[in-house]
Amino acid sequence: MNKQSTTALPRARTVVHPGPSGPVRINHMRADHGRHFRLSLPAGRTLHEGLVEALAREAVHSASMTLLGGDLESLRFCMALPDPSGRVLATYGAPVPLRGARLIFGNATLGRSASNTPLVHCHGAFCEADGAVRGGHILCDRSVVGRVPVTVLVTALDSFELRVAYDEETRMPLMRPEARAGHV
Amino acid sequence: MSEVHRIERGRMGRVAYARIGPNEDLMQGVEKLCVAQGFRHAFVRGALGSLIDACLERPDGACQVIRGPAIEVVSLAGEVRRQPDGSLRSALTGVVADTEGRVYGGPFVAGANTVCVTFEITLEEWLPADDNH
């Protein structure tokens, strides 16, 4: 079991990633305000298609999103595991396929990949057909919306952009904020 | 018996996004983000990432530790409030998933939830109206 209880405040662990630890520990940027949208993602499309197509119509390329619920006809998700090869500290395990899941809650980030295509990073909790509740990293491009639409609250980030870049410290592609041309 | 409804009027202001790096405490990282951006009060608008281990407070006051790495945060809600002494204090609750996909929920314990690989967080500034007092 991974779980334990204690009355004392546990000592937090410090991990050592394979690459050099950079001096900036919190990368942050600010917009003067967020544009908000409510989306209802249609049945039969993947979460990725539904989110990216709706937000492209509103010229939104970077956003933070809350997934409020809905049905998933099919769902693939991964869990984070220690990397047995030691190349990285933690990696995703093999995708777990589910059919007929109900989304409970999720958070997602829309940004751009290194090759400039839309990319959605999503974590969520969901209920399986038999009632069991699980959670993890949801593969949006391999998860299809079911009969009940997935409702999403979007906070669009217009004055900077989110982009995935290779991170030397963790040796993983990670999302981080970057200035947009013409904005400070 | 009288009923008191404490209502704080206000509006949303600026929006900040941060990528918090490994070995930073989640709750203090959120507070540091507010310091860096000049937010006195803020609500969490979106958050996802991984923790080395998760530490959640149980209703009896004990700490529930879920061992990683890595523990995925799959739901997070909360706020940051400026305290009477001028300091900032975050209060975050959420659901985490362990390396088997099992889920656990509760308030995060400050100082005991360090980021494993990355943590993305979006805060929206809360601007209380002047006539609240």
Q: What would the pLDDT profile of B41-85 be if each residue is shown by its tens digit?
A: 999 999 999 999 999 999 999 999 999 999 999 999 999 999 999
Residue B5 domain-assigned? no
Residues 6+ apart with CB under 8 A from A159: A29, A30, A31, A32, A180, A183
User: Poorest-confidence range of A80-94, A146-160, B107-121?
Assistant: A80-94
**A50-61 per-position pLDDT tens digit:** 999 999 999 999
Which tokens is A65 given?
């999103």
| pLDDT at residue number A139 | 98
Mean pLDDT of A119-137: 96
- Asked if residue A77 has pLDDT above 80, the reply is yes
Q: What is the span of the domain harbouring residue B66?
A: 10-128
End-to-end CA distance of chain B: 23
Give percent of chain B above pLDDT 70: 98
Residue B55 domain-assigned? yes
* Distance of alpha carbon A107 from alpha carbon B91, whole angstroms: 18
Contact B16 A134 (CB under 8 A): no
Residue B2 domain-assigned? no
| pLDDT at residue number B130 | 86
What are the C-alpha distances in Å from A9 to residues B54, B56, B64, B78?
12, 10, 10, 21
* Distance of alpha carbon B62 from alpha carbon A56, whole angstroms: 46
What CATH number is associated with residue B67? Answer: 3.30.1330.80
ipTM reported for the complex surpasses 0.90: yes
Contact B72 A77 (CB under 8 A): no
Q: Domain ranges in chain A?
A: 37-179
CA angle B8, A108, A106 (to 5 degrees): 70
- Residue-wise DSSP of B86-97: S-EEEEEEEEEE
Beta bridge partners of B90: B80
**For the domain A37-179, what is the CATH code?**
3.30.1330.80
Measured in angstroms, the CA of A2 and the nearest CA of chain B are apart by: 5
* Distance of alpha carbon A12 from alpha carbon B68, whole angstroms: 12
Among A64, A112, A184, the residue to mutate for chain B (most B Cβ within 10 A): A64
Residue B3 domain-assigned? no
Number of domains in chain B: 1
* Distance of alpha carbon A102 from alpha carbon A106, whole angstroms: 11
Q: Please, which residues 103-122 of chain B have a Cβ atom closer than 8 Å to chain A? A: 103-104, 109, 111-114, 116-118, 120, 122
- Asked if residue A7 has pLDDT above 90, the reply is no
Q: Which residue in the set B20, B49, B74 is minimally distant from A125, CB to CB?
A: B74
User: Poorest-confidence range of A21-25, B1-5, B126-130?
Assistant: B1-5
* Cα dihedral A22/B56/B16/A117 (nearest 10): 70
CA angle B90, B91, B92 (to 5 degrees): 110
* Distance of alpha carbon A141 from alpha carbon A109, whole angstroms: 14
Residue B1 domain-assigned? no
Phi, psi (degrees; rounded to nearest 5) at A142: -125, 20
B14 at interface of A, judged by CB pairs closer than 8 A: yes
* Distance of alpha carbon B48 from alpha carbon B92, whole angstroms: 13
DSSP conformation class of A142: G
